[in-house]
């Protein structure tokens, strides 16, 4: 399975020079569009030299800048696909079994976790373990069930957890309560939801730490996020699969439960006594 440019950056970031890291950060903040500009324009926006951009591209394994841009163009085309463009047509035979989708989902999970480091997971768990801070969770049209599922678990093991539901205007009303000590956890996969992007930007401007669960093509929310979990979602179907992100969420839930073992167990017992 071919790695996306964002995934290659995650793999190679520890080997990059300071200038190459700035190029990587600039690309992620405007992914993938800044990489489709000329070398001179990319270097100017990143604040590094043109040779640094070319070294960055080579570090990712590309032979030259056009090859790098071709990969980004392919990603952009995939990012813009809609269920309608992926719908199985009458000319496409139905699969004989569910095996192709099952194998694709399993491969998505494996590939997703290949690009998630132990340090990244530990950093996210530490962020979520601060029980004095508030954790807000929200998702898009198809991913909000993941936010609701994760919020239900977090509410059992720690206080100050809110799943943002209802009309989008109600989300914006909660911005007044967000501060730099709080965390906003967002699920957003293609086609990315404009309302989530605008909400994330406002939360970021208020200082909230954003944790993003997205796909390999990266929601525009990545430019505001401190932590990004990029899951593989493509399967042989008109619809993307959130299975890999679900497993990533469950992994974090399990790790956080272990970290808050004493407090979490006490809280669960008290909840059970109140029932």
Which secondary-structure segment (H or E) carries 139? strand 135-139
Helix axes 243-259, 118-128, angle to 10 degrees: 60
Architecture of domain 5-79: Orthogonal Bundle (1.10)
For CATH 3.40.50.10490, the residue range(s) in the chain are 106-273
Q: Which residues of the chain form CATH 1.10.10.10?
A: 5-79
With contact defined as beta carbons under 8 Å apart, do 249 and 149 qualify? yes
Whole-structure pTM value: 0.82
Residues 134-190 have pLDDT tens digits of: 999 999 999 999 999 999 999 999 999 999 998 788 888 899 999 999 999 999 998
Q: What is the pLDDT of residue 113?
A: 95
Q: What is the pLDDT of residue 96?
A: 57
Other Cβ atoms within 10 Å of 89 Cβ, number = 5
Distance CA 52, CA 248 (A): 34
- Give how far the C-alpha of residue 250 lies from the chain's centroid of Cα atoms, to the nearest Å: 15
Nearest CA-CA partner of 209 in 187, 182, 173: 182
Instruction: Report the pLDDT value the prediction gives residue 90, as an integer from 0 to 100.
Output: 39
Looking at the DSSP bridge assignments, the partners of residue 148 are none
In the chain, which stretches have pLDDT less than 70?
1, 82-98
Q: Out of 3.40.50.10880, 3.30.420.40, 3.20.20.70, 3.40.50.10490, which CATH number does the structure's domain 106-273 have?
A: 3.40.50.10490
């Amino acid at each position: 399975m071919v790695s996306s440019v964002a995934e290659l950056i995650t793999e190679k970031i520890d080997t990059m020079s300071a200038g190459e890291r700035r190029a990587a950060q600039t690309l992620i903040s405007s992914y993938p569009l800044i990489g489709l500009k000329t070398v001179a324009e990319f270097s100017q926006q990143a604040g590094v030299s043109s040779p640094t951009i070319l070294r960055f591209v080579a570090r990712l394994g590309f032979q030259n800048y056009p090859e790098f841009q071709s990969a980004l163009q392919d990603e952009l085309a995939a990012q813009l696909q809609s269920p309608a463009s992926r719908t199985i047509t009458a000319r496409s035979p139905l699969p004989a079994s569910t095996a192709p989708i099952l194998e694709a989902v399993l491969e998505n999970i494996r590939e997703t976790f290949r690009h998630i480091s132990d340090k990244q997971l530990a950093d996210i768990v530490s962020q979520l373990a601060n029980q004095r801070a508030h954790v807000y969770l929200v998702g898009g049209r198809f991913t909000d069930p993941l936010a609701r599922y994760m919020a239900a678990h977090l509410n059992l093991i720690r206080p100050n957890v809110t799943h943002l539901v209802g009309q989008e205007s109600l989300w914006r009303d909660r911005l007044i309560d967000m501060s730099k000590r709080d965390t906003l956890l967002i699920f957003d996969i293609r086609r990315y939801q404009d309302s989530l992007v605008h909400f994330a930007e406002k939360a970021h401007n208020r200082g909230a730490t954003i944790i993003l669960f997205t796909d390999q093509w990266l929601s525009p929310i990545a430019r505001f996020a401190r932590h990004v979990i990029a899951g593989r979602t493509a399967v042989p179907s008109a619809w993307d699969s959130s299975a890999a992100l679900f497993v990533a969420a469950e992994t974090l839930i399990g790790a956080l439960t272990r970290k808050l073992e004493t407090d979490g167990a006490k809280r669960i017992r008290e909840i059970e006594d109140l029932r």
